Structure 1
Amino acid sequence: MTEQFRGLMAAFPTGVAVVTTFGQDGEPWGMTLSSLSSVSVDPPTLLVCLRYSSPTLDALVRTGSFTVNLLHHEARPAAELFSSGDPDRFRQVAWEHPASLGGPHLVDDAHAAADCVVDHMHRTGTHVVVFGKVHTVVHRSAAQPLLYGLRRYASWPRSA
């Protein structure tokens, strides 16, 4: 059933994001994800799903805030870097510390970012669903989003 389920979800294209946060010592943490969804407009709330064993999740739980960086179509290298587990990933991308609560903003790779405060969490299986109340949204560019489906990256079609 595991492979059948993976095949099912691979057939559902989605956007690509990097969720980021800071550890208690100020160290940046982050990971690529495609499990992101809008939950409510009032109050603005979204959800992200992170692996239970993720150090990014540990840091997020401790700080209580995070940022969702929506990657643009030329940011595939960042998506791959943040899914690799490379401990030096933040030395390989441009990022800045937001003035508000949240995590690092990937200034060259994200076309938009949402800073969130953790509202609540729910563990299911190997992942934790994190509900975040959005308090700041930054639009950096009108670049096309990076998509992922059928186990490969793509850009939004120009004719769309």
Structure 2
Amino acid sequence: MDGEFREMMAGFPTGVSVVTARHGVEPPWGMTCSSLCSLSTAPPRLLVCLRAQSPTLDAVLASGAFAVNLLHGDAEQVAALFASGAADRFERVVWKPSARTGSPALVESAHAIADCTVARTHPDGDHVIVVGVVRSVERFDRDSSLLYGFRQYGELSRPLPVSRGARD
């Protein structure tokens, strides 16, 4: 059943994010995450599902905060880097502490970043559902989102505005 479920979910394209956190002076942590959804707009809340044994989850829980970096269409290498578990991943990307919580903001790889505090958690299976209260949103002038489905990356671009020129 596990294999059938994995195959089914591989066929469900979704946006790609990197969830990041940092506790005190400890090094930052981050992981590629496609298990993300909006939960509420009033107040603004979202949820992410993080692997229970993840050091990123440990940093999220210890700090009580995290950032959701929604990757733009040209950030496939960043998604692969943060999925790899490479110890030097934060040395290979441009980032800065977010304004509200200090969580790492991947400013060159994201089209938007949500800076969140942890509202609650819910362990389930091999993951932990983390509900975050969105404290601020930073958007960048990038017109595409990175997607993942059928075990490959793709890109969704913002449609060009329709020109309303003179009639013939």
Runs of 4+ residues over 3 Å off in structure 1: 157-160
Aligned equivalents of 2:62 and 2:52: distance in 1? Answer: 14
How far apart are the structure 2 equivalents of 1:90 and 1:134? 23
Shift of 1:142: 3.0
Name the SS of the counterpart of 2:123 in structure 1.
strand
Q: Which residue of 2 aligns with 1:63?
A: 63
Match for residue 144 of structure 1?
144
Q: Structure 2: give runs of 5+ residues left out of the alignment.
A: 161-168
Mark the structure with the bigger radius of gyration: 2
Equivalent position SS for 1:6: helix
Aligned length: 160
* Mapped contact 1:102–1:116 kept (Cα < 8 A): no
Q: Which residue of 1 aligns with 2:50?
A: 50
1:125-144 equivalent positions in 2, closer than 5 A: 125-144=125-144
* Alpha-carbon separation, structure 2, partners of 1:135 and 1:159: 29
Query: Is residue 143–residue 158 contact of structure 2 (8 Å, CA) maintained in 1?
Result: no
- Indicate conservation of the 8 Å contact 2:145/2:157, yes or no: no
Q: Aligned partner of 1:124: which letter? A: D
Structure 1: how far apart are the matches of 2:157 and 2:100?
A: 34
Distance in 2 between the 1:59 and 1:49 partners?
A: 14
Cα offset, 1:70, TM superposition: 0.2
Note if contact 2:22-2:59 (Cα within 8 Å) is conserved in structure 1. Answer: yes
TM-score when normalising by structure 2: 0.91
In the alignment, the residues of structure 2 paired with residue 158 and residue 129 of structure 1 have an alpha-carbon distance, to the nearest angstrom, of 30
For structure 1, the residue ranges without an aligned partner over 5 or more in a row are none
Question: How far apart are residue 116 of structure 1 and its match?
Answer: 0.3
The match for 2:82 is 82
- 1:32-47 map, 5 Å: 32-47=32-47
Retained in 1: the 8 A contact 2:44–2:133?
A: yes
The 1-side partners of 2:29 and 2:23 are apart by 7
Partner of 2:18: 18
Structure 2 CA distance, aligned partners of 1:157 and 1:43?
28
After superposition, the C-alpha distances for 1:7-56 in whole angstroms (9 at most, x for unaligned) are 11111100000000102324211000100000000010000000000000
1:113 is paired with a residue whose SS is strand
Contact 1:102-1:117 within 8 A present in 2 as well: no
C-alpha distance in 1 between matches for 2:3 and 2:54: 22
TM-score normalised to structure 1 length: 0.96
Identity %, equivalent residues: 51
User: 1: CA distance between counterparts of 2:148 and 2:41?
Assistant: 25
